[in-house]
Chain A
Amino acid sequence: MSPVSRGFHGRRRETPGQSGRVPPGQYLTTDFPVLSAGPTPHTPLGEWTFSIRQGRDVTRSWSWAEIQALPAETITVDIHCVTRWSKLDTMWAGVSMDTLLGQVEHSAGYVLAFSDGGYTTNLPIADVSDGKAWLAFSYDGGPLPAEHGGPARLLVPHLYFWKSAKWVRGLELLDHDEPGFWETYGYNMYGDPWREQRYAGD
């Protein structure tokens, strides 16, 4: 039982339409805060590729132009950062991971997303399939800004936002679950905001 914080009333910001949309322990923001462990990388689009790898082999790779030529979807979703902010109705455009994974023969159970700057994060294949994940290159009607992960980031809105790897350059297909960057430092392997899976053991 939590002790009552004497004199604390809090700010209940639930307004009609938001009920049930803010996971436990989160608060709403209208900003778009930035959190990254290192400098913001800047890869020229002419050198940019998105790859799907199995072990060391690149199974399939797309250039920026090839990604842009694929059917894009617009996505309006709520996002939830482990540092406790949630933002409702964010608007993105990108290519469904189903489109990309559908061009590769595999039987993987997990993926490790990898990014410029060395960032990685792990996800079950089921969580990047069936319309649950995108390679997003547009935010709020414009190009995705570099500090928010541009030119392209993973968008997996049903998990805490560290799983939506910024500056993503590909997926490594794995038959086992392997911790990525933050997961190695004690963050949860799965990261479901509705079960408040922030840290290992949550």
Chain B
Amino acid sequence: MAGTAVRGRLTWQTATVSSLTRETPSVCTIALDVPHWGGHQAGQHLDVRLTADDGYQAEREYSIAAAPGEPVAITVERLDDGEVSPYLTDDLRTGDELEIRGPVGGYFVWEAGPHDRPLLLVAGGSGIVPLRAILRHRQRTGATVPTRLLYSARSLADVIYREELGQYHDGVQVSYTLTRSQPPGWTGHTGRVDAALLAEVAWPASQDPVAYVCGPTNFVEAAAAGLIGLSYPDQRVKTERFGGTGGP
């Protein structure tokens, strides 16, 4: 496995919110001005720390939504019973300061290379965030690796980056499955990602693809198991599970 280790000490630094973009009613992208950013890879995450006026602090980690070389950004989904995410999605304003450190993680990353395997990206809900960084990285580096994205969302209104994802062509196929409600005339997939849907959408294992699966635990368990069932080798299925089964 490639040595993509984070070296040296990761120190906290103060970043400034440069813009806020409402992606869906509960999801916001926060672009940050970070004075000392050592760069990151597509798929990595960073830590955010908030401090109350009495010194109380709360930390969380969020996937980086930006491609390497782009200004740092995170996309945050509000969890209604959460401690940190409602502040980030609803209370934060442009010009506010946030403490961050990163990048963190080095396994769930994608780099363009000379011998690219077909790329399968499987997203559940806000699990699209690190996969969006991968897609943008692919685009910015001019990589031509054939790519498929299967994105599961509750409804069309819950699809994050919908406009941006609609602009991909040239080797990127985007498929949606809507699990709870579909607009009239919906011709995409419906229902949860399962073995049958993967058999239809995923690259055949014979093409030696690599898969990145990100989403809530149950989603990732089902999608990863489905890919193993399609004869994807374990080491070609990289997963990132959002701990949240409703937790903060």
> Is there a chain A Cβ closer than 8 Å to B3's Cβ?
yes
Is the CB–CB distance between A37 and B217 below 8 Å?
no
Q: A34-B217, A38-B234, A147-B221 known; A199 and B51 CB under 8 Å?
A: no
Residue from B10, B96, B239 within 8 A of A39 (CB atoms): B239
Which B224-238 residues sit within 8 Å CB-CB of chain A? 224-225, 227-228, 234-235, 237-238
Is the CB–CB distance between A186 and B6 below 8 Å?
yes
> Is there a chain A Cβ closer than 8 Å to B61's Cβ?
yes
CA distance A32 to B246 in the complex (A): 10
Interface size class of B (residues with CB under 8 A): 35 or more
> Is there a chain A Cβ closer than 8 Å to B99's Cβ?
yes
Which A32-89 residues sit within 8 Å CB-CB of chain B? 32-41, 81, 83-85
Q: A25-B57, A34-B241 known; A40 and B9 CB under 8 Å?
A: no
Is the CB–CB distance between A186 and B225 below 8 Å?
no
A-B contact count (CB 8 A): 141
Which B1-43 residues sit within 8 Å CB-CB of chain A? 1, 3-10, 12, 14
Shortest CB-to-CB span from B131 to chain A, Å, is 16
CA distance A41 to B228 in the complex (A): 10
> Is there a chain A Cβ closer than 8 Å to B83's Cβ?
yes
Q: A184-B3, A186-B104, A199-B104 known; A36 and B52 CB under 8 Å?
A: no
Q: A85-B243, A186-B7 known; A38 and B50 CB under 8 Å?
A: no
> Is there a chain B Cβ closer than 8 Å to A27's Cβ?
yes
> Is there a chain A Cβ closer than 8 Å to B200's Cβ?
no
CA distance A201 to B7 in the complex (A): 8
Is the CB–CB distance between B7 and A200 below 8 Å?
yes
Is the CB–CB distance between A29 and B247 below 8 Å?
yes
Shortest CB-to-CB span from B94 to chain A, Å, is 12
Q: A-side binding surface: helix, strand, loop or mixed?
A: loop
Residues of B within 8 A of A30 (CB): 247
Is the CB–CB distance between B248 and A27 below 8 Å?
yes
- Closest chain B residue to A3, Cβ basis: B97
Is the CB–CB distance between B87 and A36 below 8 Å?
no
Residues of A within 8 A of B228 (CB): 39
- Comparing A9-17, A98-106, A122-130, the segment that makes contact with chain B is A9-17
Is the CB–CB distance between A35 and B6 below 8 Å?
no
Is the CB–CB distance between A3 and B51 below 8 Å?
yes
Is the CB–CB distance between A83 and B61 below 8 Å?
yes
Is the CB–CB distance between B107 and A85 below 8 Å?
no
The 5 closest A-B pairs by CB, nearest first: A33-B243, A186-B6, A201-B9, A185-B106, A39-B224
18 other A-B residue contacts (CB within 8 Å) besides A184-B106, A185-B6, A186-B105: A5-B51, A5-B97, A6-B93, A29-B243, A32-B245, A33-B241, A34-B221, A35-B241, A36-B241, A39-B228, A117-B234, A184-B3, A185-B4, A185-B105, A185-B107, A186-B6, A200-B5, A201-B9
